[in-house]
């Protein structure tokens, strides 16, 4: 089932649309944001130099830091009176990446999300259980509005309260589950505990899972345990939120809605464009965004592209499921966190040194975070009460500022092994402990 015939358009038709839209976007950012005008001038480019989508590689990149530098609304190209919605990137400290949407941007977001739901086979008869977090994170409302657009019934359950969610899915007869993959598995565990008969008790037929990297094995397990089709959704706040791409029933690759979001793969060291089939950093240019158009955004996500049409009839480019990141961003149960943010929280607490190590592992199907921090020499390690308070204080600050639950372990000064080169701040055991299927 295809929502919009543009998804099956000819190469020529798509290219001509993309070229026209790129030209408009380039003019818009050049004329309305001093940031882009300066960047274009540094490269000696004027909007009239861009005549087709093939000229895109002449344009400068945009990085996450550029958005942070213009916090909160500095890169918006419309007055605030035209901004209908604000969201922000998950898990950030004082200065998150803020994104804004006009009415037209919201319509486009609904449109691409409707395409996603159609890929998952949704109709007016479906009941969507939406367990993505509602709020500044784009997951909850993004998945909500797309379901509404296809006319499905939405249960806006948001995250947490696992047992209750399982009960509601059963009682309400949910047919489509929308959640992070880790939460879907967590719910399955909870359902098993309450001796559920998956076949008889649930009516689920499909799931729309994303927001965090997931191995093939875990995808298969989710699909098997719930007895559903697995559709992977990819997206990021800076571009629109969820709805940049999604996988259909026929392939594990994700169809990129490239009439709105133009994808490229680059070598993250040299910035050179790479050919289809080669892995590199995914770069996306928005072609229709009004409030916050973005040129060649470096997602940091490693993937590859193919333009071979899919069995489902869609001809738009497909991307490989994200295989990793080019920077040190961690994704903990769907929340994005940089080690520097953890460091910031530690630095705000008296009695600690900045020698720390973040250890990520799996507990059941959820990510588990241990943070080892060396206390300073002035702290008496044998004062149990003082240590306990210190630990609670950091855990509280991590939860409040970064939305992450961590188990903090305070250790004596100089206990964390020093490395000869770069400090080893992150030990990610999730991959090595993954069960092979
Ligand atoms: O995670 C948007 C989203 C919500 C996508 C719900 C899918 C479902 P951010 O919080 O801005 O937005 O985080 C974006 O999450 O750059 C990737 O690193 C990661 N990510 C998103 N989808 C996937 C996926 C949302 N399917 C960052 N596989 C991105 C792997 C993903 N990583």
Q: Tens digits of per-residue pLDDT, 319-360?
A: 999 988 888 788 898 888 877 788 788 888 888 887 889 999
What pLDDT is attached to residue 423?
Answer: 63
Residue 236 CB less than 6 A away from ligand 1: yes
Distance CA 140, CA 130 (A): 7
Q: Which domains does the chain have, with CATH numbers?
A: 1-325 (3.40.50.12780), 330-436 (3.30.300.30)
Chain centre to alpha carbon of residue 371: 23
133 CB near ligand 1 (under 6 Å) = no
| Residue of 117, 134, 210 with the most ligand 1 atoms within 8 Å of its CB, for mutation | 210
Helices (H), 194-243: 198-201, 216-226
Q: Within 10 Å of residue 231's Cβ, how many Cβ atoms? A: 25
- Report how far ligand 1's centroid is from the alpha carbon of 236 (Å): 5
Residue 159 Cβ < 6 Å to ligand 1: no
Residue 230 CB neighbour total at 10 angstroms: 23
Rounded CA-CA distance 119/135 in Å is 25
Distance from the CA of 325 to the center of ligand 1, in angstroms? 11
Identify whether 430 is preceded by a cis peptide bond (ω within 30 of 0).
Answer: no
Extended beta strands in 211-328, E state: 229-236, 241-247, 254-256, 261-266, 280-286, 297-303, 305-306, 318-319, 324-325
Q: Which residues of the chain have pLDDT under 50?
A: 91-93, 421, 435-437
Determine whether the shortest distance from the Cβ of 139 to ligand 1 is under 6 A: yes
pLDDT at 344 (0 to 100)? 82
Q: How many A from CA of 242 to the centre of ligand 1?
A: 7
Cβ–Cβ under 8 Å, residues 143 and 157: no
Three-class secondary structure of residue 87 per DSSP: strand
Q: How far, in Å, is the centroid of ligand 1 from the Cα of 146?
A: 17
- Residue 94 has a pLDDT of 52
Nearest CA among 423, 432, 237, 240 for reference residue 342: 423
Nearest CA to ligand 1 atom 29: 236
Rounded distance from Cα 56 to ligand 1 centre (Å): 24
Beta bridge partners of 62: 297
90 lines ligand 1 (CB under 6 A): yes
Which residue among 67, 144, 211 is best mutated to probe the pocket of ligand 1, counting the most ligand atoms within 8 A of its Cβ?
211
Pocket perturbation via mutation, ligand 1, pick of 178, 235, 252, 331 by most ligand atoms within 8 A of CB: 235
Name the one residue in this structure whose structure tokens are 């944001």.
33
pLDDT of amino acid 93: 46
Interval between CA 262 and ligand 1 midpoint (Å): 17
For ligand 1, the distance from its centroid to the CA atom of residue 276, given in whole angstroms, is 22
> Please, are residues 117 and 208 in contact by the beta-carbon 8 Å criterion?
yes
Write out the two tokens for 284: 């996306």
Contacting residues for 404 by C-beta, under 8 A, at least 6 apart: 91, 332, 333, 335, 337, 369, 398
Q: Which of 92, 147, 236 to mutate to test the pocket of ligand 1 (most atoms within 8 A of CB)?
A: 236
Query: Which letter does DSSP use for residue 247 in this model?
Result: E
> Sign of the C-alpha dihedral, residues 101, 103, 105, 106?
positive
Burial (CB count <10 Å: 0-12, 13-18, 19+), residue 115: buried
According to DSSP, the β-strands at 352-363 and 335-337 are unpaired
Residues in Cβ contact with 86 at an 8 Å cutoff, skipping those fewer than 6 apart:
98, 99, 100, 101, 136
Percent of the chain with pLDDT over 70: 95
Distance CA 350, CA 259 (A): 51
Integer angstrom CA distances of residue 64 from 75, 190, 329, 330: 12, 37, 12, 15
Residue whose CA lies nearest to ligand 1 atom number 18: 301
Q: Is 96 in the pocket of ligand 1 (CB under 6 A)?
A: no
Strands (E), 322-435: 324-325, 330-332, 335-337, 352-363, 366-375, 407-411, 426-428
């Amino acid at each position: 089932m295809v929502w919009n015939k543009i998804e099956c358009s000819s190469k020529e038709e798509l290219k001509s649309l993309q070229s026209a839209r790129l030209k408009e976007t380039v003019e818009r950012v050049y004329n309305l944001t001093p940031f882009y005008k300066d960047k274009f001038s540094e490269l000696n480019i004027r909007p009239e130099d861009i005549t087709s989508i093939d000229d895109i590689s002449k344009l400068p990149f945009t990085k996450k830091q550029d958005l942070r530098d213009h916090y909160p609304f500095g890169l918006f190209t419309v007055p605030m009176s035209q901004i209908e919605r604000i969201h922000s990137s998950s898990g950030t400290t004082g200065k998150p990446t803020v994104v804004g949407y006009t009415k037209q941007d919201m319509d486009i977001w609904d449109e691409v999300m409707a395409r996603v739901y159609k890929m998952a086979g949704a109709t007016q008869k479906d009941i969507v259980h939406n367990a993505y977090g509602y709020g500044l994170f784009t997951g909850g409302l993004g998945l909500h509005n797309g379901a509404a657009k296809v006319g499905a019934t939405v249960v806006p359950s948001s995250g947490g309260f696992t047992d209750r969610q399982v009960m509601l899915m059963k009682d309400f007869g949910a047919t489509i589950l929308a959640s992070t993959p880790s939460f879907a598995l967590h719910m399955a565990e909870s359902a098993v505990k309450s001796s559920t008969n998956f076949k008889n008790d649930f009516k689920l037929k499909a799931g729309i899972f994303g927001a965090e990297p997931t191995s093939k094995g875990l995808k298969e397990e989710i699909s098997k345990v719930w007895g559903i089709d697995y559709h992977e959704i990819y997206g990021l706040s800076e571009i629109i939120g969820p709805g940049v791409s999604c996988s259909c029933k026929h392939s594990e690759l994700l169809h990129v809605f490239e009439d709105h979001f133009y994808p490229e793969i680059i070598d993250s060291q040299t910035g050179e464009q790479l050919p289809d089939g080669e892995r590199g950093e995914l770069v996306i240019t928005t072609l229709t965004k009004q409030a916050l158009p973005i040129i060649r955004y470096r997602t940091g996500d490693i993937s590859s592209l193919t333009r071979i049409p899919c069995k489902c009839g869609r001809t738009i480019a497909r991307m490989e499921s994200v295989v990793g990141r080019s920077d040190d961003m961690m994704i903990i149960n769907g929340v994005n966190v940089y080690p520097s943010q953890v460091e910031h929280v530690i630095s705000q607490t008296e009695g600690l040194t900045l020698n720390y190590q973040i250890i990520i592992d799996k507990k059941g199907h959820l990510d588990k975070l241990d943070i080892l921090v060396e206390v300073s020499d002035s702290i008496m390690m044998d004062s149990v009460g003082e240590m306990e308070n210190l630990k609670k204080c950091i855990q509280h600050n991590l939860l409040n500022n970064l939305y992450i639950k961590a188990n903090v372990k305070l250790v004596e000064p100089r206990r964390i092994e020093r490395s000869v080169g770069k400090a080893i701040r992150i030990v990610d055991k999730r991959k090595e402990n993954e069960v092979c299927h």
